[in-house]
Amino acid sequence: MKKIPPKGLSETELFAEMNALRKDDLNWRDGRNFAYVYYPGEEILNVVKKAYQLFFSENALNPSAFPSLRNMENDVVSMSAHLFGGNNETVGSLTTGGTESILMTVKTAREWGKKNKKLTANPEIIIPATAHPAFFKAAHYFNLSIVLCPTEKDFRVDAQKMENLISKNTVLLVASAPSYPQGVVDPIQAIGQIAEKHDLLFHVDACIGGFMLPFLKQLDYKIPAFDFSVKGVTSISADIHKYGYAAKGASVILYKNSALRKHQFYTYTAWTGGIYASPTMTGTRPGGSIAAAYAALKFVGYDGYLKLAKSCMNTTQKLQNAIREIPEIDILTTPEATLFAITSNSLDIYEVGDEMGILGWQIDRQQMPPSLHFSINPAHEKVIDQTIEDLKIAVQKAKKLSLNKLGKNVQLQAIKTMQRMLPKPLFEKIKKLASKHSDVGGKRSAAMYGMIGELQGKGDLDDMIKDFLDKMMK
């Protein structure tokens, strides 16, 4: 076990150690990642950092202790409500991220259902098959049932099919603007009508798109209406720590009115420590991330967001145009914004991901169908030509590799595919283990063949991943 050092390190020693820890981290400043970090440049980053530091110790747990935080939170909510077509009735909260915003909207729907419908069973929420796992997490935590609506060929849900799934226990419909994996916006308008007709709540998950779509629309890109301007929409989530460029730990959850938001709040009035009231999941709420969200919106400004959105969209189109020229790979469906996925009919797209990895690009693997994910951020503008060159090389290499692999055991392929779905850190862990059992080594995931013996008889995939996660967090 590790011990707290008996005698504290010097600042120099400490930072030398921590900087050494970073050596294998994603290189987001150079745009080598296509997820996780959204980098708007040093100027904005430094201002947001300064704001975070200024409120580093403050705690938004009690809204009367720090009026500064309360005012900033209210302003961030209000600016967001304005951006998303809200009015004077629109209210909301700042949360730590998209997941917490979604947890809150699902909990709100449960409480709303309790009050407004005489439910005989678990309340149900109808979500597109492409919706974020945070909805499953919320249903799991709060004991609701998920009704999954399969998506169409274009990865958008069909509103009519969603309507057919409504039962007397339904409380909430969900749509994405856009979905994360394929970057497409569900038919919000049509679903809004259905929500109204059946007197249901309707949440639009604009976690990734919230601080991108309105600016693209303003720039005359074809963006469908997705916000409170659409009749039937009762709540929206939008992450300021993604395309809002705030510090991690900032998302807004907005509701159509106060009556709805009250279902989100939690109170306990019989505590010996006094009356306890809390708007969201967390108790102590870091002032830093509230201040950083406020600073990002105020410092970047509407003009700044337009400029950054334009840069992201230009880069997206450049990359997509280049991909259309590469016969072996295709863009999945017709994404509206700055997220999309690529797939292939003729080669193993995961091999392309491996080859891109060897060339220093970190690209996430997706499934059903096998695909690679791209979320474009402003850091990509200056490296996109290189991305395109390397993608061409990676496709050529993957073509050769795919031929070599023909005839290999189908079961091995299946396990290999499963393993490729693991997040990078887990994947790296397996690779290290694999190198003990295999002479393949190197950066290719083929090394993982060696792990197969190790994994056999270890239960299902969920258990296997929980086991890895458990080991990783020790």
Ligand X SMILES: *Cc1c(COP(=O)(O)O)cnc(C)c1O
239 binds ligand X (CB under 6 A): yes
Cis geometry, peptide bond prior to residue 178 (ω within 30 degrees of 0): yes
286 binds ligand X (CB under 6 A): no
E strand map for 8-132: 91-95, 124-128
**Span of 95-103, 282-290, 315-323, 344-352 interacting with ligand X by CB under 6 A:** 95-103
| Closest distance of CB 164 from ligand X, Å | 24
By beta-carbon proximity to ligand X, the closer residue of 377 and 445 is: 377
Query: Quick one: tokens of 114?
Result: 């309790």
**Span of 94-102, 275-283, 350-358, 406-414 interacting with ligand X by CB under 6 A:** 94-102
By beta-carbon proximity to ligand X, the closer residue of 180 and 350 is: 180
227 binds ligand X (CB under 6 A): no
| Strand partners for 331 | 342
CA-to-CA distance for 226 and 198, rounded, in angstroms?
19
Helix axes 349-358, 410-420, angle to 10 degrees: 50
**Residue 242 near residue 36 (C-beta atoms within 8 A):** no
Residues 134-173 close enough to bind ligand X by CB under 6 A: 134
Q: Count other C-beta atoms under 10 Å from residue 143's C-beta.
A: 9
Give the residue from 140, 132, 187 showing the smallest Cα distance to 159: 187
| Closest distance of CB 132 from ligand X, Å | 3
* Distance set, CA 436 to CA 80, 427, 448, 454 (Å): 52, 15, 10, 11
Sheet with 339-343: list strands edge to edge. 330-331, 339-343, 371-375, 365-366
**Span of 43-51, 91-99, 113-121, 310-318 interacting with ligand X by CB under 6 A:** 91-99
CA torsion 275-281-286-291 (nearest 10°) is -110
| Closest distance of CB 179 from ligand X, Å | 6
| Closest distance of CB 372 from ligand X, Å | 16
**Span of 96-104, 145-153, 263-271, 441-449 interacting with ligand X by CB under 6 A:** 96-104
Among 40, 86, 98, 378, binds ligand X (CB under 6 A): 98
| Closest distance of CB 45 from ligand X, Å | 18
Burial degree of 265 (CB within 10 A; 0-12, 13-18, 19+): middle
**How many residues belong to the site for ligand X (CB under 6 A)?**
13
188 binds ligand X (CB under 6 A): no
b (16+ CB within 10 A) / e for 266-296: eeeeeeeeeeeebbbbeeebbbbbbbbbbbb
Measured in whole angstroms, the distance separating CA 148 from the mean position of its chain's CA atoms is: 19
Among 111, 205, 348, 351, binds ligand X (CB under 6 A): 205
207 binds ligand X (CB under 6 A): yes
| Closest distance of CB 289 from ligand X, Å | 12
| Closest distance of CB 460 from ligand X, Å | 25
By beta-carbon proximity to ligand X, the closer residue of 90 and 338 is: 338
| Closest distance of CB 313 from ligand X, Å | 17
**Residue 55 near residue 288 (C-beta atoms within 8 A):** yes
**Running DSSP on this structure, what letter comes out for residue 267?**
E
| Closest distance of CB 208 from ligand X, Å | 3
341 binds ligand X (CB under 6 A): no
Residues 113-132 close enough to bind ligand X by CB under 6 A: 132
| Closest residue to bound ligand X by CB | 98
Burial degree of 316 (CB within 10 A; 0-12, 13-18, 19+): buried
180 binds ligand X (CB under 6 A): yes
Taking residues 246 to 285 in sequence order and writing x for each that binds ligand X by CB under 6 A, - otherwise, the string is: -----x----------------------------------
Among 33, 80, 93, 99, binds ligand X (CB under 6 A): 99
CA-to-CA distance for 7 and 240, rounded, in angstroms?
40
Our CA angle for 142, 143, 147, nearest 5°, is: 115
97 binds ligand X (CB under 6 A): yes
| Closest distance of CB 209 from ligand X, Å | 7
| Closest distance of CB 188 from ligand X, Å | 13
Among 208, 260, 319, 398, binds ligand X (CB under 6 A): 208
By the criterion CB under 6 A, which residues form the site for ligand X?
97-99, 102, 132, 134, 176, 180, 205, 207-208, 239, 251
